[in-house]
Chain A
Amino acid sequence: MTVVKIAPRRNRSLGGALIAVVLLGGAVLFGAFTAAFTVQETESAVVNQFGRPVREIKDAGLYFKIPFVQEVRRFDSRIKAWDGEPNEIPTQGGEFIWVDTTARWRIVEPQRFMESVRDDQSARSRLSDVIDSVVRDQIAGTVLVEIVRSSDWGRPTAGQPAVKVAPTTPKPDDAPDGEEAAGVPGPTDAELAQARQEAAALEEKVEMGRQELTRRILDKSRVVVTDYGIELVDVQIKRINYVNSVQEQVYKRMISDQQRRAEEFRSEGQGESARILGEARRELATIRSTAERQAQIIRGEADAEATRLYNDAYAKDAEFYALWRTLDSYRATVDQRNTLMLGTDSEYYRYLRGVGR
Chain B
Amino acid sequence: MAKKPNDPTEALAKLLGNTLSGGVVVAGIAVLALLFGASTAFYTVEPEEKAIVTRFGKFSDTRGPGLHFKIPFGVDRVMLVPTERVLKEEFGFRTKLINTRTEYSQTPDNLAEALMLTGDLNVVEVTWVVQYQVTQPKDYLFNMNDPGRTIRDVSEAVMRRIVGNRLLSNTLSGAGRTEMSIMARDEIGSILNEYGMGVSIRTVELQDVVPPSQVRPSYNAVNEAQQERERLINEAEKRRNQEIPRARGEAQQLVNEAEGYRAERVNRAIGDASRFTAVAAEYRQSPEVTRRRLYLEAMDEILPKAGQIIVAEPGGNAALPLFNLDLPKRSAGGAQ
Contacts and interface: CB of A to CB of B under 8 A. Distances in A.
Interface of A: 2-4, 6-7, 11-12, 14-16, 18-19, 22, 38-43, 59-62, 76, 78-81, 83, 102, 104, 144-145, 148-150, 152-153, 157-162, 185, 194, 197-198, 201-202, 210-211, 233-234, 236-242, 247, 250-251, 254-255, 258-259, 261-263, 265-266, 268-270, 272-274, 276-277, 279-280, 283-284, 287-288, 290-292, 294-296, 298-299, 301-303, 305-307, 309-310, 312-314, 316-317, 320-321, 323-324, 327, 330-331, 334-345, 347-349
Given A277-B236, A277-B240, 15 more contacts: A42-B141, A42-B142, A104-B150, A144-B121, A145-B121, A159-B176, A159-B180, A201-B167, A211-B161, A247-B123, A269-B233, A274-B236, A317-B284, A323-B291, A323-B295
Contacts of A259: 218, 221
B336 interface: no
Nearest to A337: B307
Contacts, number: 372
Interface of B: 1-4, 7, 9-10, 13, 16-17, 19, 23, 26, 54, 56-59, 77, 112, 115-123, 141-146, 149-150, 153-154, 156-157, 160-161, 164-167, 169-171, 173, 175-176, 179-180, 183, 191, 194-196, 211-212, 214-215, 218-219, 221-222, 224-226, 228-233, 235-237, 239-240, 243-244, 247-248, 250-252, 254-255, 257-259, 261-263, 265-266, 268-270, 272-274, 276-277, 279-280, 283-284, 287, 291-292, 294-296, 298-299, 301-303, 305-314, 318, 322
B227 to A, nearest CB: 9
A291 to B, nearest CB: 3
A262 B218 CA distance: 8
Given A15-B16, A276-B237, A291-B252, A302 B117 contact: no
Contacts of A38: 56-57
User: Which DSSP category, helix, strand, loop or mixed, fits chain A's interface?
Assistant: helix
A145 B252 CA distance: 68
Contact of A255 (B3, B215, B266): B215
11 contacts: A38-B56, A40-B77, A41-B54, A104-B150, A251-B215, A255-B218, A273-B232, A291-B255, A298-B259, A313-B274, A343-B313
Contact of A81 (B116, B149, B230): B149
A287 B248 contact: yes
B240 to A, nearest CB: 4
A65 B39 CA distance: 31
A302 B195 contact: no
B301 A331 contact: yes
B132 to A, nearest CB: 17
A273 B3 CA distance: 129
B225 A201 contact: no
A102 B157 contact: yes
A2 B1 contact: yes
By Cβ-Cβ distance, the 9 closest A-B pairs, closest first, are A269-B229, A291-B251, A302-B262, A15-B16, A295-B258, A38-B57, A306-B269, A62-B56, A313-B273
A158 B169 CA distance: 12
Given A39-B57, A280-B244, A339-B308, A305 B291 contact: no
